[in-house]
């Protein structure tokens, strides 16, 4: 059946409408607001040019200190979460690919189901597990004669607790993407590699990985973006503590806008965060693209 351009355009319009309403306009409006002294309650109090950006980027103001602290924390979390969320997800997917058919469905469901749990429930569970005074993990440690650890109010343990919660919560999503990619790998390549006497590692490195590389790069990019948006876990498990060491960029932006009533400054922070994320994502694309060319 041939669909006319008019009909196809009309079918596309609902998407375009919502894309404009809920993406383009807020995006442009956010940039506009960031150049103004704008409060949530009072609205626009005048154009201030780059003043909001200058105060964030110039040492000596509380906005600079809180933004830079949160940026450092967020980058740290992106760094420590990338390997477990991508590599462990790939390992899980490989494991699932190599178990019998019926069990494969069962384990795929088990590993993915945690992704369906809300961040509030996940955080409540992990807060209880890692509570310093009488928490489950410390109880286990004490059973084995080990000292208790103040998981949630000392570092690096607070990050470990948040990382554990995040990995448990979201690893299933990446795993499903890898499982689907692995399903698409041409079986004949494995057969050819086996005939050539390739061992398991050689089969993975020379057949599997090149075949799923596109998905791998995609998973890395969406994982970095997701980790950049860290919010629920740090808000509900550590409240940004101890001493602001798990305060993420999103928490700072939320606080600046709604607690300090400073929509202009918060929008400037959000724009800067977006620029940083685009920059990092661009680098990832470039690296992935260059390797494709070389390959």
Partner 1 sequence: MKKLLLGSLLSSMVLLAACGNGETGAGDDTDNGNEEIPEEAADATVIRFLNGFTGGDGAFMKEIVDNFNDSQDEYFVNESQEPEHYTQFRTGDYELVVMHGVNLETYSMDGLIQPIDGILEDVGMSINDFHPAAEDLVGLTDGNYGIPLDIHPLTTFYNKNLTEEAPETYEDLVTLSEELQSENENLYAMGIPDSGLIEFYTLTLAAQNNVDLLSDDERYLNFAQEDLVDALWILHDMIYEDNISPEGLGLDGEFHAFMQDSEGDSGGNQTAVSLTGPWYYQAVSDAYGDDLGIGTIPQLGEQVAVYGNSHVISLAASVEDEDMLEGISAFIEFMYQPENLSNWAASGQAPLHTETMNYIEENAEDFPLPYQNQQMFDDYVAAPAVYQFGEQMRYMNETVIGRIVREENLTREELMEELETATGIAEEIADTAPEQ
Whole-number Å distance between alpha carbons of 135 and 120: 18
Whole-number Å distance between alpha carbons of 234 and 162: 7
Closest to partner 1 by CB, 131 vs 208, is 131
Question: Sign of dihedral through CA atoms 54, 59, 63, 68?
Answer: positive
Closest to partner 1 by CB, 138 vs 166, is 138
- Cβ of residue 160: shortest distance to partner 1, in angstroms? 15
Closest to partner 1 by CB, 136 vs 209, is 136
The residue assigned the tokens 């086996």 is 194
Closest to partner 1 by CB, 76 vs 115, is 76
- Cβ of residue 254: shortest distance to partner 1, in angstroms? 10
- Cβ of residue 18: shortest distance to partner 1, in angstroms? 10
b/e map of 168-198 (b: 16 or more CB within 10 Å)?
bbbbbbbbbbbbebbeebeeeeeeebeeeeb
- Cβ of residue 142: shortest distance to partner 1, in angstroms? 4
- Cβ of residue 268: shortest distance to partner 1, in angstroms? 14
- Cβ of residue 62: shortest distance to partner 1, in angstroms? 5
Closest to partner 1 by CB, 130 vs 173, is 130
CB 77 within 8 A of CB 226: no
- Cβ of residue 241: shortest distance to partner 1, in angstroms? 5
Q: Is the peptide bond before 156 cis (omega within 30 degrees of 0)?
A: yes
CA 109 to chain centre: 21
Question: Sign of dihedral through CA atoms 57, 62, 67, 70?
Answer: positive
CA distances from 289 to 207, 215, 218 (A): 19, 13, 12
Give the count of alpha carbons within 13 A of 36, CB side only: 15
43's enclosing H/E stretch is strand 43-47
With H, G, I as helix, E, B as strand and everything else as coil, classify residue 245.
coil
- Cβ of residue 164: shortest distance to partner 1, in angstroms? 17
Closest to partner 1 by CB, 208 vs 250, is 250
Whole-number Å distance between alpha carbons of 78 and 226: 9
| Contacts to partner 1 by CB under 8 A | 5-6, 9-10, 13, 16-17, 20-21, 25, 29, 39-45, 61-62, 131-135, 138-139, 142, 148, 150, 152-154, 238-244, 247, 258-263
Closest to partner 1 by CB, 260 vs 281, is 260
Closest to partner 1 by CB, 183 vs 239, is 239
Enter the tokens of residue 294.
């070389």
Whole-number Å distance between alpha carbons of 83 and 230: 16
């Amino acid at each position: 059946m041939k669909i006319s351009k008019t009909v196809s355009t009309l079918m596309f319009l609902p998407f375009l409408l919502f894309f404009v309403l809920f993406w383009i306009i807020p995006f442009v409006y956010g940039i506009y607001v960031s150049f103004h002294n704008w409060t949530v309650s009072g609205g626009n109090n005048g154009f201030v040019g780059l003043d909001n950006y200058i105060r964030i980027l110039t040492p000596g103001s509380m906005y600079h200190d809180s933004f830079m602290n949160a940026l450092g924390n967020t980058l740290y979390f992106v760094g420590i979460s990338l390997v477990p969320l991508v590599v462990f997800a790939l390992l899980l997917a490989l494991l699932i690919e190599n178990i019998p058919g019926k069990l494969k469905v069962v384990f795929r469901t088990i590993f993915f189901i945690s992704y369906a749990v809300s961040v509030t429930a996940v955080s409540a569970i992990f807060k209880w597990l890692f509570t310093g005074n009488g928490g489950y993990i410390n109880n286990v440690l004490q059973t084995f004669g080990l000292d208790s650890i103040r998981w949630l109010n000392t570092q690096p343990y607070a990050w470990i607790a948040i990382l554990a919660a995040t990995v448990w919560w979201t690893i299933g999503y990446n795993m499903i993407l890898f499982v689907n990619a692995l399903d698409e790998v041409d079986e004949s390549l494995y057969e050819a590699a086996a005939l050539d006497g390739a061992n398991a590692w050689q089969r993975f490195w020379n057949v599997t990985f090149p075949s799923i590389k596109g998905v791998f790069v995609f998973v890395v990019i969406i994982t970095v973006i997701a980790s950049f948006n860290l919010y629920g876990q740090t808000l509900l498990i550590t409240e940004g503590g101890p001493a602001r060491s798990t305060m993420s960029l999103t928490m700072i932006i939320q606080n600046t806008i709604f607690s300090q009533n400073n929509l202009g400054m918060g929008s400037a922070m959000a724009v800067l965060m977006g620029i940083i994320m685009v920059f990092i994502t661009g680098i990832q694309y470039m690296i992935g693209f260059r390797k494709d060319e070389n390959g």
